[in-house]
Amino acid sequence: MQALERDSSHRRFDSPQALEAFGAQVAQALGAGEAVCLFGPLGAGKSTLARGLVRALTRPDQDVPSPTFTLMQTYQGPNFPLAHLDLYRLKRPEEAFEIGLDEALDVGAAVVEWSERLDGALPPDRLDVRLEIADDGGRIATLRGHGVWTGREHDLLRPARD
Ligand SMILES: Nc1ncnc2c1ncn2[C@@H]1O[C@H](COP(=O)(O)OP(=O)(O)O)[C@@H](O)[C@H]1O
Ligand SMILES: [Mg+2]
């Protein structure tokens, strides 16, 4: 990590469990019409975070397969549906709208892996989470809210208290 990146909102996760718990924390803050856009290379922890998020809104033992081939999997949350997308195979950003990201956000929320593929077509109301693998194997997340999420990322800088 470069020192100049340190002024944005970072969190460190030392285990998959910690990253999954963070997904649950994001789930509590997420509303209908809002997207969680995950960025980062293969193995960075996108699916781990998404699994924690989906399980927090469904059941703790919910099966959360990677939607690499179907591109989108929808779950019923307590208050609205949640779409889980993996855009690794997306060829053009417009394809995300063909598979139904817009419609999903009309009625519910979405968590999106490989958001890099959306290029300039990212949903306006969103939390961006950029995941990196630290030299010691931990994961560093850089958080940034946009649209209705502007500034709300700061609420996620500390673990949730229960
Ligand atoms: N904070 C963490 N520290 C160490 N390993 C992690 C952490 N988070 C996830 N992992 C592990 O990294 C591997 C890849 O995670 P995954 O969520 O599938 O990444 P991605 O979806 O970005 O490719 C998994 O074996 C997972 O358990
Ligand atoms: Mg994945």
- Using a pLDDT cut of 70, give the percent of the chain over it: 94
Q: Ligand 1: distance of its center to the CA of 16 in Å? A: 6
In a domain, 4, yes or no: no
Tokens of 132: 């990196």
The ligand 1 atom at the shortest distance from the C-alpha of residue 131 is: 22
93: CATH: 3.40.50.300
67-109: pLDDT as tens digits: 988 899 999 999 999 999 999 999 999 999 889 999 999 999 9
In a domain, 108, yes or no: yes
In a domain, 35, yes or no: yes
| Block residue for tokens 């929808």 | 74
Candidate from 19, 48, 113, 115 with most ligand 1 atoms within 8 A of CB, to mutate: 48
Residue 26's closest CA among 138, 131, 136, 126? 126
In a domain, 88, yes or no: yes
If one counts the domains in the chain, the total is 1
In a domain, 3, yes or no: no
In a domain, 101, yes or no: yes
Q: Ligand 1: distance of its center to the CA of 113 in Å? A: 13
- The range of the structural domain enclosing residue 51 comes to 12-156
Average pLDDT along the chain: 94
Q: Which residue has the higher pLDDT, 54 or 5?
A: 54
125-150: pLDDT as tens digits: 999 999 999 999 999 999 999 999 99
The per-residue DSSP string of 48-60 comes to: HHHHHHHHHHS-T
In a domain, 139, yes or no: yes
Burial code (b: 16+ CB inside 10 Å, e: under 16) for 109-132 equals bbbbbbbbbbeeebbebbbbbbbb
The per-residue DSSP string of 101-153 comes to: HHHHHHHSEEEEE-GGGGTT---SSEEEEEEEE-TTS-EEEEEEEEGGGTTGG
Tokens of 144: 């940034």
Nearest CA to ligand 1 atom 16: 45
pLDDT value of residue 162: 65
State the pTM of this model: 0.94
Q: Ligand 1: distance of its center to the CA of 14 in Å? A: 10
In a domain, 161, yes or no: no
pLDDT value of residue 70: 84
pLDDT tier at 44 (50, 70, 90 boundaries)?
very high
Q: Looking at residue 155, what DSSP letter applies?
A: G
| Block residue for tokens 């053009």 | 92
pLDDT tier at 155 (50, 70, 90 boundaries)?
very high
**With 60 as the cut, is the pLDDT of residue 1 above it?**
no
CA distances from 121 to 6, 9, 15, 143 (A): 27, 23, 32, 19
pLDDT value of residue 3: 45
Q: Taking residues 21-33, what's their average pLDDT?
A: 98
- Using a pLDDT cut of 90, give the percent of the chain over it: 87
**With 80 as the cut, is the pLDDT of residue 8 above it?**
no
